[in-house]
Amino acid sequence: MTTQDTLNLPLLHLADFSEDETSPAAERFVEQLRTTCHEVGFFYLVGHGVPTQLNDDLQRVSKEFFSQPVEERMAIAMDNSPHFRGYTPFKGEQTNGQSDLRDEIDFGPERAAVPNSTVPYERLIGPNQFPDSVPELRSVVLAWQREMDRLGRTVLRAVARALGQDPAILEDWVSPHAEDTIKLVRYAAPTEEDNSNQGVGRHRDFGILTFVLQDEVGGLEVEREGDLVSAVPVPGAFVVNLGEMLQLLTHGYFKATVHRVVSPPTGIERYSCIYFFNPRLDATLSPLNLPTALQRNAPGGESDDASNPILATYGENILKVRLRAHPTTARAHHADLLQESPA
């Protein structure tokens, strides 16, 4: 049985909040959330209300896609999409300038492209690519996206309470819709030619909230007090962490925590389904006026990496990340932006 004593990260029960947001149990959840987001920036979330069957279906169709021949996977290659949607082959994405030992599919809000826009980040708006080889994947992904949007908004209301804010202030960031991203990821073991076991290199996430649905294979590691600890898989739980935008907005009172994924051992693959709950692209987020008791413990939310500034307008921040992480797609569709993006 999973208990807090056996885990390296806090375990929070969202049902205590969502069943009655005015109850004493909800207030206790908010206090737990405040402490966790200030001290750790990562936690397990149970009682979230996302149907187990839907999570199982998503993991099943994800594995079915990755089992397809490479030509079927490459039919929806991200390099086809100026909106950074679709399949990225093994080692096709980079973190800190080094290739990640994984392949993946990216999805976002299903919308029409904005032709001839003069706003660079509006190039990210557009349709998804779904594979003909796994027709069920489209309906499952879109159903999961709706459930995760509901979950993201619930947690965001709790975040507002934890920060002493009117929830309407934070809800405005994701209205009329969030700029969410879904990644279905497969991690593989290093080959003899690889000089690392970097499933994903050390990094912080870039938005507001990230929800990770892990399989039974470990590998996610989280920085705590200078050490990296394992976020062991907990059945039925999401691993949740905070992004850079929330760190910036809270003057660093809430922290975006460094983490990485270590490749699985030879003969084993790891699958992960990730939901990034992010502000709308044109949201320019101003730091919040925190209660005095919180403000005195806020060290400042700016990035300590001069080469990776946190930009206040979300669209500019995510475009910066996309151009860096997917160099071949960037060169194919956005060569004019590469010299303009932050170094």
Put simply, whether the predicted model's pTM sits higher than 0.85 gets the answer: yes
Nearest to 113 by CA among 321, 333, 304: 333
Tens-level pLDDT at each residue, the chain (343 residues): 555 667 999 999 999 999 999 999 999 999 999 999 999 999 999 999 999 999 999 999 999 999 999 999 999 999 999 999 999 999 988 888 889 999 999 999 999 999 999 999 999 999 999 999 999 999 999 999 999 999 999 999 999 999 999 998 899 999 988 999 999 999 999 988 888 999 999 999 988 999 999 999 999 999 998 899 999 999 999 999 999 889 989 999 999 999 999 999 999 999 999 999 999 999 988 889 999 999 999 988 665 555 555 556 889 888 988 998 899 999 999 999 997 544 4
**pLDDT tens track for 283-328:** 988 889 999 999 999 988 665 555 555 556 889 888 988 998 899 9
The total of other beta-carbon atoms located within 10 Å of residue 218's CB is 15
For the chain, the structural domain boundaries read: 9-338
Classify residue 226 as exposed, middle or buried by CB count within 10 Å of its CB (0-12, 13-18, 19+). exposed
CA angle 146, 147, 149 (to 5 degrees): 65
Q: Which of 242, 250, 249, 253 is nearest to 298 (CA)?
A: 253
3-state SS of 58-124 is HHHHHHHHHCCCHHHHHCCEHHHCCCCCEEECCCCCEECCEECCEEEEEECCCCCCCCCCCCHHHHH
Span 9-338: which CATH code? Answer: 2.60.120.330
C-alpha closest to that of 237 among 52, 34, 65: 52
Per-residue pLDDT tens over the stretch 145-158: 999 999 999 999 99
